[in-house]
Structures are given as C-alpha cells and as structure tokens.
Structure 1
Amino acid sequence: MPEKLPVYRIPDFTAPKPLSRGIHVADLQAHRQTHAFVQAPHKHDFYLLLWVRSGQGTHTIDFTHYAVTPGSVFFLTPGQVHAWDLIPETEGTLLFFSPEFYRGGQEKDTLRQFPFFRTWQHPPVLYASAQELAPVEQLLQQMQHEYAQSASFQTEALRAYLELLLIQLARLYPAAPVQLEENSWPFQLYQLENLVEQHYLEHQSVKFYADALHLSPKYLNELCKENLGKTTTDLLKERLLLEAKRLLTHSPHLNIAQVAQVLGFEDNSYFSRFFKKHTGNTPEQFRQKG
C-alpha cells in the first residue's frame, strides 16, 4: 500500500540480540529519549502494552484521544496508528511482543481471548488504581530484570511472565468475563477479525468471509449482530472507512483519486459519496479538518 506512515518492527528499537525479533521491555522515559521519532503518528507490526506509573498527556489511537494518567494501561494491536503527547516527567514501562513470540510455536493464536485486544468490542485502555495495578507493576519489573540478563530458559521465562501479565490485566479490565474461556466469545469472531484485517481491501463480500470460516453468510451475520451489535457488512465498511481516514490524514502525497484507488474504488465520485454518507464529510473536508 503506497503510504508514508512508518511501520516499525521490534528490531527497530533493540540492539541486535536473539530476543530482538520477538519481545522488548523498556523504560518509557529512556525509550522516548532514545527514539524521539515515536512522538509522530506511526504503526507497529507487533502488540504493544504501555503502563503509566506517573505523568499525564494524551494518547491518540486511530483518531480517538485518550487521557494519559497515573494508572493507565494502553493496549495496541498490530497495524493501529497511534501517537502520544506526554509531559517529560511521565514514567512507565513499554512492552512489545510479536504474536509468534506469544504462541511459542503453537499454531493457534489465542491473544484475542483477552478483552483489550478485541478492537471491535472494547477500548484499548484500562484505568486502575495503584493498589490494583501493584501485581502488574511487579510482573513488569520481573520482566525487565529477566530481559536485561542472559540466562538459560530466558525466552520461556519471559513468555510465562507475559501470559501471567495479560491474565492479570484481563481480570482488571472492566469488560472482562468472569472466566477467561475461549467460549466466552465465539472463536469464529477472532478468526473473522484477522481475516478482515488481511483481506478487507480485496473482499467486501460477506460470502468470502463466511466461506473462509465454513459458515453460512446468515449465521456469520447473526454471530456479529449478537456479539457486536453490528452486521458483517457494517464491520467491513468500518474497516474500509478507518483505512480511508488513515490515508487521508497520514498520506498527504496521495490525492483523493489515489486514495480511492488504493481502497479499491474504481470511481472516485463513488468513494466520495460513500465516505460522506458514513462520516458526514467529503474526503476533502475530512483532510482539511485533520
């Protein structure tokens, strides 16, 4: 996709080391001083967790602004666009990890069992008290210590800490189910979210996704409406609109016709009508406001 918005990988933030492709744990202040470029909007190809111990500011994730306060924890999935504006004194910990690191060789990706990674359902932030987050802070400190040393079974230890950390955060997350069970949310919707992310530009047909999941379009639509309150078509349109907003905001080198072409619209005027119908603004108006 022709865009100038940078997409960073874990090795972009780490010195060469065996773990650099899978996980990275860093002090927030040190990270910001070393990598000043993270202030500007960008994407990652990995999962990101930010815990804020103290300080304040704003964290913008895909056009939504969230307050940064002591005791806030942010969760980003690969591909989301984000940027922050923090006071210099803000302290906390950053954790990066790839889905491959989390899986550890297992084929099944169960990361979306955690409510904060279900981007269709829940906001990417948790606000909690220092007392509630004490176990989280302890786990992050243990991860930083483990990450900084060279010891046998280091990868296994970090993966175990990561699993415990995500479980602890899921228990605190307001929308978390009583028990973390795969059946608490239909597994087909985990798969659908991944499929839409991979194919939304080429396929806007519900039948394509239903066939890929070995479901009927009607049953897939019922799953979406029951669990998300939206039709499958709604979800596909929302994903296309999100990408349109990203391109209009972060790719000024593309004119409106080129944005439409990237998104698979053969007719620029149809793209403009589609965009205005769902946002209330023409693409030109949205770009000017941005």
Structure 2
Amino acid sequence: MKTFNDFASYNEYIGLAKPLDNDIDVGYYDPPNMLLKSEAVAVDFYRISIKVGYRDKFVSNAKPVNAVFFNSPEMSVGWDVDPNYTGMYLQLSKKTIEENRYLFKTYLDYGQHEALYLTDEEVQEISAVFQLMMKYYESKKQNFNVLLSYVNVLVSLVEAFYKRQFSTDPKQYSRIVTDFQQSLIDYYKQPVKQLPNVQYFADKLGLTANYLGDIVKHFTQKSALENIHDFVIKKAKELLVENQKLNTTEVAYELGFEYPNYFSKFFKKQVNLTPKEYRLQAIHKN
C-alpha cells in the first residue's frame, strides 16, 4: 500500500492544486480533473474533507450525502466516486497538530467510517469559513496566525455539529453506549490479568478510542475512562462485601490491578475510604 508523506505528492496523485505551504494546505475539490477511483492509500498527515453531493460507489445503494470526512496518519482509504460532487479540504501536518494541539479536537482521529453528516445550513456555515481561510492561505505566511484562528473556528463548528448529530439520532449512538457498558460487564465475567482501558473496548466495538469516548461522554456526561473507573469501584465493593474470604491483595488481583498498593490508593481516591475501612464499615452496617 502506498503512503504519501507530504501534501505535494498526495495532491499530485489525486489531482489537487499544488500546496502553497508544507504545514497547512487548503483548497477546493475539482472532481472532473481528479482521480475518481483508487486502491487503498495512506497519508502521513491529517485531512479534513467537506464533500457536498458525495456518493461512494464502494457502498451499495448509497445516496449522495453532505459530509465531513477525516483521515489521520496510518489510516488507509480507497475510493470509487461519482464526479459530480463539490467540496473543500484542509490538510494539516503532524508538526502543526503537535505545536497547536489545543486547537484540534479528538475527531481528527475518528476515521473515515465516522463521518459527520451536514445539513444544508451547516454546509453554508462551513463554506463561509473556508472562503476566509482561502483568503489568508493565499497570502501565505504573512497571516499564518489568522489562518490558524479560522482553522480553529472550523474545528469548533465541527464539534458543535457532531453534538447535533449525536442528539438527533440517539438510538444509533445510545446503542454504542449500551454495547460499551455490556462489554465492560462481560470483561469481568472471566479471569482478568489487567485493568480494562478505553482502547480495549474501542477495538471490541470496531471504533476509534476518541470516537467511542466522545459518544460515551455525550450520553453519560462522564468520560469512557470515568465510566470504567466507576464500574471497577462497583466490582471492588461487591468483592469486598460479598467475598470476605478474599483479602484486599486478592481483590486487587481479581480486578486486574498489577500492584495491590495502587488498588488501595485508587479505591481511597474514589471512595474516601481504604478497601479495609470500606469492608469494616459495610460489615458493621449489616
């Protein structure tokens, strides 16, 4: 599989304009003059693509959509598309992301299959921001900070639109939360050797960790990691009270803690009692 390490080589391959900058590239799609079908390729940078009236022939019976797509390093994507869509793209080097991480949200790592679908009004808003971005992009480095500010505006709009998407189709996304919670229950139905983490459940559900985390946070008002911690504490309480033959070290190992001391500190931070204190208090109440 071919990997493109810079904007120039990728743009030449796909039929886009030559980039004016090596760290940020902004432009409009021109499908009649672009490569409309390709095997899977990867890029070693980040891409945000806004496509209007876009239909991918890889998806059977697909209807044209208005959507934002994301590509991140090491993610591969192929395509076979109709030539009658319009749109815009923003390409960001890893250096730009690293130096301005506070500007960019987790959905840069969502992946191609977690697109953001846009309403007509949202397309107009994003198009207006792109016009301003192009103005300052074409003036090159003279207005680099202004360009970055508009990139931040674009990313903030995307964040707002994702929240709208999560809210307008709650059945689809709440099912992901339910599957996450069930996977957490299932995790402790078998002997465990380590604590569960967000990446484990994302892999289990076929999602990126950031995407899963944002959906869980949207519907539970807690991060995926906080949900995991809450469940671990719940299991710890059950083991301490219902299985008193286990000492706290054994409880720690049952939960997947590598070091019992870490379990005690973790439990104390969450409950304001040590495991021993909690057990004694629970026994006294009973």
TM-score (norm 2): 0.50
Q: Is residue 102 of structure 2 the alignment partner of residue 117 of structure 1?
A: no
1:15, distance to aligned residue in structure 2 (A): 3.9
Q: Offset at 1:170?
A: 1.0
C-alpha distance in 1, partners of 2:3/2:202? 32
2:119 aligned counterpart, secondary structure: coil
Query: What CA distance in whole angstroms lies between the structure 1 residues aligned with 2:7 and 2:92?
Result: 8
CA displacement 1:211-266 (0-9 Å, x = unmatched): xxxxxx844x2x42xxx67288x59x999xxxxxxxxxxxxxxxxxxxxxxxxxxx
Tell me the CA shift for residue 45 of structure 1. 0.6
What is the CA–CA distance in structure 1 between the aligned matches of 2:79 and 2:131, rounded to whole Å?
A: 23
Distance 1:37 1:93 in 2: 15
Contact 1:75 1:117 in 2 (8 A): yes
Q: 2:38 corresponds to which residue? A: 39
- The residue that corresponds to 2:8 in the other structure is 11
1:132 pairs with 2:122: yes
- Aligned-pair distance for 1:115? 3.6
1:275-290 mapped onto 2 (5 Å cutoff): none
State the distance in 1 between where 2:135 and 2:61 align: 30
- Give the number of equivalent residue pairs: 177
Q: Give, in whole Å, the separation in 2 of the partners of 1:85 and 1:29.
A: 15
- Counterpart CA distance in 1 for 2:90 and 2:37 is 14
More helix by share: 2
Partners in 2 of 1:102 and 1:92 — Cα distance?
23
The gaps in structure 2 that reach 5 residues or longer are 12-16, 168-192, 209-286
The within-5 A match list for 1:1-290 is 4-12=1-9, 13=11, 15=18, 17=20, 19=21, 21-29=22-30, 33=33, 36=35, 39-53=38-52, 55-58=53-56, 67=62, 69-103=64-98, 105=99, 109-110=101-102, 113-115=105-107, 117-119=109-111, 123-150=113-140, 152-153=142-143, 155-174=144-163, 218-219=194-195, 221=196, 223-224=197-198, 230=201
CA contact (8 A) 2:97 2:104 kept: no
Query: How far apart are the structure 2 equivalents of 1:116 and 1:58?
Result: 21
d(CA) in 2 for partners of 1:166, 1:66: 31
Between 1 and 2, higher relative CO (CA 8 Å, sep ≥ 6) is seen in 1
Deviations 1:103-162 (A, max 9, x none): 4x35xx45774346245xx94301121113322111112112222234622x21221111
Give unmatched runs, 5+ long, in structure 1: 179-216, 240-290
Q: Secondary structure at the match of 1:124?
A: coil
CA contact (8 A) 1:58 1:66 kept: no
Quick check: 1:47–1:77 contact (8 Å CA) kept in 2?
Answer: yes
Kindly name which structure, 1 or 2, has the bigger radius of gyration based on alpha carbons.
2
Question: Is residue 137–residue 147 contact of structure 2 (8 Å, CA) maintained in 1?
Answer: yes
